[in-house]
């Protein structure tokens, strides 16, 4: 959709010969930029106050244990390790557009709420399960779905300067406001289409 609207905008600007043609080309360009901007906010980190990143220098005993267990399981070692208060252990990815091409390194989350109720043997079994995810080839598909879900969520749910601009245009004199109304309908249609399509993908 991004490529299609960008192509429409490019050829419309090339062939524009009156005001209506420029307005139409500008509308295509607006929708294209609306879709593109959701791709380039993936690297923006949101600090989670319940999550603490730890390094090997801070926790050498923990990392020695994790690395030995990963080697035993013939799985990649965790790229980053996070400690949380949750009763859980899980695998996560760093989000980046480049990860749609190059596989993302996997991070390990260890919930201290879980750790505090397990014996060392039970803890090892939980970690071995997570390292099994590290080694699974099927996780490749999960990576694409995860990144696509984040992009779709930003397009559908995020309200930003683009929406504020549409509100401003739509509230001006009716001779200009109709442009904002049409663009708002197009943005709503794009969001609805992406939300519907991704819901079908998620169910599948």
DSSP string, 66-132: HHHHHHHTT-PPPS-EEEESSS-EEEEE---GGGGTSPPPEEEEEEHHHHTTS-HHHHHHHHHHHHH
pLDDT per residue as tens digits for the range 136-192: 766 666 667 777 777 888 888 888 888 888 898 888 888 888 888 988 998 999 999
> 109-130 pLDDT, tens per residue?
999 998 889 999 999 999 999 8
Pair of tokens at residue 15? 């062939």
Q: Quick one: tokens of 128?
A: 């071995």
Query: In the 8-state DSSP scheme, what is residue 52?
Result: E
- Quote the pTM value: 0.59
Contact predicate 42/147, CB 8 Å: yes
């Amino acid at each position: 959709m991004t490529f299609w609207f960008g192509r429409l905008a490019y050829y419309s600007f090339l062939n524009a010969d009156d005001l209506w043609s420029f307005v139409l080309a500008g509308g295509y360009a607006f929708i294209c930029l609306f879709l593109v901007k959701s791709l380039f906010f993936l690297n923006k980190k949101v600090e989670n106050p319940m999550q603490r990143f730890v390094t090997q220098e801070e926790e050498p005993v923990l990392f020695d244990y994790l690395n030995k267990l990963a080697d035993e399981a013939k799985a990649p070692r965790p790229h980053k390790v996070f400690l949380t208060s949750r009763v859980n252990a899980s695998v996560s990815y760093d989000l980046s557009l480049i990860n749609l091409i190059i596989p993302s390194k996997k991070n390990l989350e260890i919930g201290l709420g879980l750790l505090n109720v397990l014996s060392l043997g039970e803890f090892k079994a939980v970690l071995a399960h997570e390292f099994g995810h590290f080694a699974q080839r099927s996780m490749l598909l999960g990576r694409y779905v995860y990144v696509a879900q984040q992009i779709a969520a930003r397009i559908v749910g995020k309200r930003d300067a683009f929406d504020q601009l549409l509100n401003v245009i739509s509230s001006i004199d009716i001779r200009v406001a109709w442009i904002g109304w049409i663009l708002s309908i197009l943005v709503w249609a794009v969001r609805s289409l992406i939300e519907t399509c991704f819901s079908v993908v998620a169910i599948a």
